[in-house]
Amino acid sequence: MRANVFRGVNRFGIEEVERPRAGAGEAIIRMTLTTVCGTDLHIVRGEYPVRAGLVIGHEPVGVIEELGPGVTDYRPGQRVLVGAITPCGQCRACLSGHLSQCGHGAGWEALGGWRMGNTQDGAQAEYIRIPSAQANLAPIPDELTDEQVVLLSDIASTGFSGAESGGVRIGDAVVVFAQGPIGLCASIGARLMGASLVVGVDGDESRLKMAQRMGVDVVLDYRQQDIVAEVKRLTGGGADVAIEALGTQQTFESALRCLRPAGTLSSLGVYAGKLQLPYDAFSAGLGDHRVVTTLCPGGKERMRRLMDVVLRKRVDLSPLITHRFKLADIQEAYALFGERRDGVFKVAIQP
């Protein structure tokens, strides 16, 4: 089969590789749609280490090709969505409700639920092997297209979880730092959970326009104004929940400074180096602030719920797919996405 294979820093591309086969508890999916994620960019740039020879990608939509022993109640030819996180469903972490920190049948492992495109071959290929298939294959309703569900696998699940982990309540004021794919989904998630005011912060004109198009109440350009002062003015003293979706010291600190006392900072960003907590921004540790982190929730029940939200027309993420490429043109897709050219938001990849 053809697949996008990582060979080293900035060295990747389409190769012929051996097609996977289903072992016990596994399934083989014939891919029909996937995307390029910001995490994939981190991998090819050498900012997140994976082994050379890995097939990249973690957002599979496709058709069941083969079922291994022990996988029941599914059939070849069935359309399925698989979350970017594929928990085993049996370990202490999974049974405690922390699927992203799956211990692979035993205890706990940080990021252990992220296998595809990380510790095993991923989705930017013609076929993919799905581990723990019974826990991870989510049938797609006939009424939904591949493009309507592909973004649920990762960015919607991750972004919405930023609002969920932050405990957004009806009537809350929420500020979201960065309006890229995940940050915008966090803004949309906050509205779904009942926030009465959602403020989106970014410095990219196309992303600010997309946030407005998707219903963010107020968009702020950090290049043009004092964000902390403006958020406090808009909210009457500080946001109930601040969501950080970029992963820098500056955005983390700004999010913390935007909170009211006893507010919650929900962190979705991936940080490198030392992250510092300025004592004055959280009342020297005495302001009853909460800081919570989240990795993309996965598993078939999570995917079923997200698809139902789309099916019931509570949200439509299809405008976020701005460009489409064939698998053969994957390097062009990476270049466009990585350089943020042509107003790109998300790119869809078809085998």
Residue 230, pLDDT > 90, answer yes
Neighbours of 334 (CB within 10 A): 23
| pLDDT at residue 282 tops 90 | no
Q: Where are the domains of the chain?
A: 2-154+296-349, 159-293
CB contact set of 49 (below 8 Å; sequence gap of 6+): none
Distance CA 174, CA 153 (A): 24
The fold for domain 159-293 equals: Rossmann fold (3.40.50)
Is residue 83 a contact partner of residue 89, using CB atoms and an 8 Å limit?
no
Q: Is 196:223 a contact under the CB 8 Å cutoff?
A: no
Q: Are 74 and 63 in contact (CB under 8 A)?
A: no
The residue with tokens 């359309």 is 79
State residue 271's pLDDT score.
85
Please list, in sequence order, all residues whose beta carbon lies within 8 angstroms of the beta carbon of residue 123, skipping any fewer than 6 positions away: 31, 34, 55, 57, 58, 59, 60, 116, 117
Give the span between the Cα atoms of 98 and 7, in whole angstroms.
32
| Fold designation for 2-154+296-349 | Quinone Oxidoreductase; Chain A, domain 1 (3.90.180)
Q: What is the mean pLDDT of residues 11-37?
A: 98
Instruction: Tell me the Ramachandran region of residue 131: left when phi exceeds 0, alpha when psi lies from -120 to 50, beta otherwise.
Output: beta
For the cut 90, the answer to whether the pLDDT of residue 183 exceeds it is yes
pTM listed for this prediction: 0.95
Average pLDDT of 227-250?
A: 97
- Band of residue 273 on the pLDDT scale cut at 50, 70, 90: confident
Q: Is the pLDDT of residue 139 over 90?
A: yes
106, pLDDT greater than 90: no
**Dist CA 303 CA 165 (whole Å):** 17
Cβ atoms of residues 321 and 345 within 8 Å: yes
Tell me whether strands 290-293 and 173-177 are parallel, antiparallel or unpaired.
unpaired
Q: What is the pLDDT of residue 295?
A: 92
- Across the chain, mean pLDDT equals 96
Sign of torsion over alpha carbons 112, 117, 123, 126: negative
Of how many residues is the chain composed? Answer: 351
User: By 3-state DSSP, what share of the chain in percent is helix, strand and coil, each rounded to 5?
Assistant: 30, 25, 40
Distance CA 290, CA 262 (A): 7
